[in-house]
Structure 1
Amino acid sequence: MLGNFSYSNPTKLYFGENALEHLGAELTHYGKNVLLVYGGGSIKKNGIYDQVVSILKSCDKEIIEDPGVMPNPTAEKLYQGCQRAREGKVDLILAVGGGSVCDYAKAVSVSTYCEEDPWDKYYLRMEDVDNKIIPVGCVLTMVGTGSEMNGGSVITNHEQKLKIGHVFGDNVFPKFSILNPTYTFTLPRYQMIAGFFDIMSHILEQYFSGEDDNTSDYIMEGLLKSLIHSTKIAVENPTDYEARSNIMWIATWALNTLVAKGKSTDWMVHMIGQSVGAYTDATHGMTLSAISIPYYRFIMPYGLQKFKRYAVNVWDVSPDGKTDEQIAGEGLTRMERYMREIGLVMNIKELGVTEEMLDGIARGSFIMDGGYKVLSNDDILTILKDSMGE
């Protein structure tokens, strides 16, 4: 296992059907004013909103509501949230929702007291936080991003046609997160499946890097096998508690920084997918699924041994009598078959991408250098064209 690293994760997790019972105790650590952040109102329909508000009131908290967080939170929404947090002199931001809500809450936490334009400072210049940070807590209702236990925060600027993620340090991680798998049961099927692939993509972005014998790779292979098994069950029965609880736990460990240790990591699928999202506002997990197979077929020759290992250890491809290329290719074929089986989007045209958008999407894709090939703009265009489908 190569490289030198440090590791810490300050987020405290409460997991299980009774996890929300711990919210009251956590609230005692923070001041009176709480910014309650949530999305389009589904938490009011399924009763989670009432449960959370009841606990907040029982703890004598002053609630400042910030509803309407969209699936791809925008810079405009961020500015609105910062104003509410400042005016309310907020002591804690409580995010109740999925990854976008958690991402947005972290963006507000670092931006409220930022003396510059936070979009410019944190998302264009990628600078560190040097101002007051409002602590964040999460009550998770959708899995996929791992945002409940990391410092990541993705914001979209429609005017600039950019969707950018900033991975902040430990000081921005949620202080606590509450994970009740039953809260994910009422999620619409499309969003559920998109979240499943977001988890898979997070693991693969880290797995397809490096050539050393790395413990992190063994952990990721186990996570992938469990994910594939449980998602097949959940697609057939979305209220299967065992499957949904496994998926929720996998999502957290896929991106809480643990399996990245000792890895250079890739992240090009996310860079291209996020650029697609900036142009189409498409669901994040589906932008990743539409890009992944064309991308991995393109880079497979440059990381052939890892793709061979992936085929054998994750997809149970028999290597007998086959070349390395055949083994690796069969692994991607089985991955593609699984993706189609659970109902993922497999081409970007279905997400609203047109031929006229391709150049702009390619230019808006940040180039990363941790994978098996550093892409050129022409390479990205080739992948995008392949991602358009037949």
Structure 2
Amino acid sequence: MLGDFTYCNPTRLHFGKNAMSALTEELAKYGQTVQLIYGGGSIKRNGIYDQVIAALEAAGKTVVEDAGVMPNPTADKLREGVKIARERNVDFLLAVGGGSCADYAKAVSVSMNCDDDPWEKYFARFEEPTCEIIPVGVVLTMAGTGSEMNGGSVITNHEQNLKIGHVFSTDVAPKFAIMNPEFTYSLPKYQMVAGIFDIMNHITEQYFSGTDDNTSDYIMEGLMRGLVKASRAAVANPEDYEARSNIMWTAAWALNTFVGCGKAQDWEVHMLGQAVSAVTDATHGMTLAAVALPYYRYIMDAGLPKFARFAQNVWGIDAAGKADEQLAAAGLDAMEAWMREIGCVMNLAELGCDESMLETLADATFVMEGGYRKLTREEIIAIFRESL
């Protein structure tokens, strides 16, 4: 490993079928008034809401509800959440849901005591918090983003056609996460698969960078092999506890910064996919799936040894008689076959995009420098066109 790094992760995880039993004890460590953050109401239909309310009542908390967090939380919704937090002088933010709720909660946490507009300060200017941060906890109901164990927050501004992520310091990371794999059973298959590909892409964004012999790469190869196996089992039987638990655990380790240690990291697939989400409001994981293969096939020659290694160590492709170019291409073909097998979206047309939108998508795409190629605007448009 050649890179210098500091690693710290302060999030306490409670994992398994009995994870909820720890919630009341965790809540007791924090202040009186809790802003309960959730999405469209599915947690009321599946019974998770009742369990959370019971834990809050047992801890003697005053509950302020903040519902309606959308899959791609917006700047307007963020301002609404900050207003709620200020008016009720909340002490703690409890996000019950997937990554969108956790991202939103973290954005509120750094904004409640800050006078600046949160979008402008954190997502346009990328400034760091200069005010008191309100602590956050998470009850996870969807595996994918890893937001339950990191300081990241992604917010969408539809007026500006921008979707921007800000990775804050560990001070903003959730203080704890309740992770019961059974809570993910009720997810529709489309959302489950979107989460699975989000996990895979979190890993590949970090894996396809650097040329040194890096321990992180070996860890990531194991995580990817395990994810492929678990995804197939979960698609066949959504209530396969072992599969869903492995998916949930892999999601946390894919993006809690651990496997990125010592890595340059790419993240261009996320920049392309987030541009699509900003313009179409499409599901995050599926936007990544639609653009990933065209991007990786475009940059493959620049990182050929790593793509050849990916084919062998993740997909088990025999290298005998194959040049690196053939091996690398076979690895991406294997990933494509797996994506089709589990039900990923494979092109942007399925998400409502067409040729007339390419310039707008390019305008919304940030260019990253950590991967094997730094894209030009013309290359970004070409990749979007190939993704149609």
TM-score tier after normalising by the smaller chain length: over 0.9
Q: CA deviation at 1:58?
A: 1.6
Q: CA deviation at 1:28?
A: 1.1
Hey, what does 2:158 align to over in structure 1? 158
Q: Distance between the aligned counterparts of 1:115 and 1:288, measured in 2?
A: 34
Q: Distance between the aligned counterparts of 2:118 and 2:104, measured in 1?
A: 12
Hey, what does 2:244 align to over in structure 1? 244
Q: CA deviation at 1:115?
A: 1.2
SS at match of 2:371: coil
Q: CA deviation at 1:362?
A: 0.9
Q: CA deviation at 1:355?
A: 1.4
Q: Distance between the aligned counterparts of 2:218 and 2:162, measured in 1?
A: 35
SS at match of 1:165: strand
Hey, what does 1:224 align to over in structure 2? 224
Q: CA deviation at 1:86?
A: 0.5
Hey, what does 1:17 align to over in structure 2? 17
Q: Distance between the aligned counterparts of 2:162 and 2:27, measured in 1?
A: 36
1:262-277 correspondence runs (5 A): 262-277=262-277
Q: Distance between the aligned counterparts of 1:111 and 1:306, measured in 2?
A: 41
SS at match of 2:171: helix
Q: CA deviation at 1:65?
A: 0.1
Provide, for residues 279-337 of structure 1, a one-character-per-residue CA deviation record: whole Å limited to 9, x for no partner.
10000000000000000000000000000000000011111111110000000001000
Q: CA deviation at 1:200?
A: 0.1
Hey, what does 1:77 align to over in structure 2? 77
SS at match of 1:170: coil
Stretches of 4+ moved more than 3 A in 1?
A: none
SS at match of 1:177: strand
Q: CA deviation at 1:356?
A: 1.5
1:69-108 correspondence runs (5 A): 69-108=69-108
Hey, what does 1:378 align to over in structure 2? 378
- Aligned residue type for 2:244: R
The answer to whether structure 1 residue 299 and structure 2 residue 299 are counterparts is yes
1:331-370 correspondence runs (5 A): 331-370=331-370
Hey, what does 2:56 align to over in structure 1? 56
- What are structure 2's unaligned runs of at least 5 residues? none
- Aligned residue type for 1:317: I
Hey, what does 2:145 align to over in structure 1? 145
- Aligned residue type for 1:36: L
Q: CA deviation at 1:364?
A: 1.1
Provide, for residues 178-229 of structure 1, a one-character-per-residue CA deviation record: whole Å limited to 9, x for no partner.
0000000000110000000000000000000000000000000000000000
The answer to whether structure 1 residue 45 and structure 2 residue 45 are counterparts is yes
SS at match of 2:105: helix
- What are structure 1's unaligned runs of at least 5 residues? none
Q: Distance between the aligned counterparts of 2:352 and 2:344, measured in 1?
A: 15
Provide, for residues 56-81 of structure 1, a one-character-per-residue CA deviation record: whole Å limited to 9, x for no partner.
01211000000000000000000000
The answer to whether structure 1 residue 112 and structure 2 residue 116 are counterparts is no
Alignment RMSD: 0.5
Q: CA deviation at 1:112?
A: 1.2
Q: CA deviation at 1:360?
A: 1.2
Q: Distance between the aligned counterparts of 2:133 and 2:317, measured in 1?
A: 48
Hey, what does 1:312 align to over in structure 2? 312
Hey, what does 2:191 align to over in structure 1? 191
Hey, what does 1:387 align to over in structure 2? 387
SS at match of 2:110: helix
- Aligned residue type for 2:118: P
SS at match of 1:295: helix
Q: Distance between the aligned counterparts of 2:176 and 2:327, measured in 1?
A: 43
TM-score, normalising length from structure 1? 0.99
- Aligned residue type for 1:28: A
Q: Distance between the aligned counterparts of 1:60 and 1:311, measured in 2?
A: 54
Hey, what does 1:6 align to over in structure 2? 6
User: Percent of pairs identical after alignment?
Assistant: 62
Q: CA deviation at 1:55?
A: 1.1
In the comparison of the two structures, how many residue pairs are matched?
Answer: 388
The answer to whether structure 1 residue 209 and structure 2 residue 212 are counterparts is no
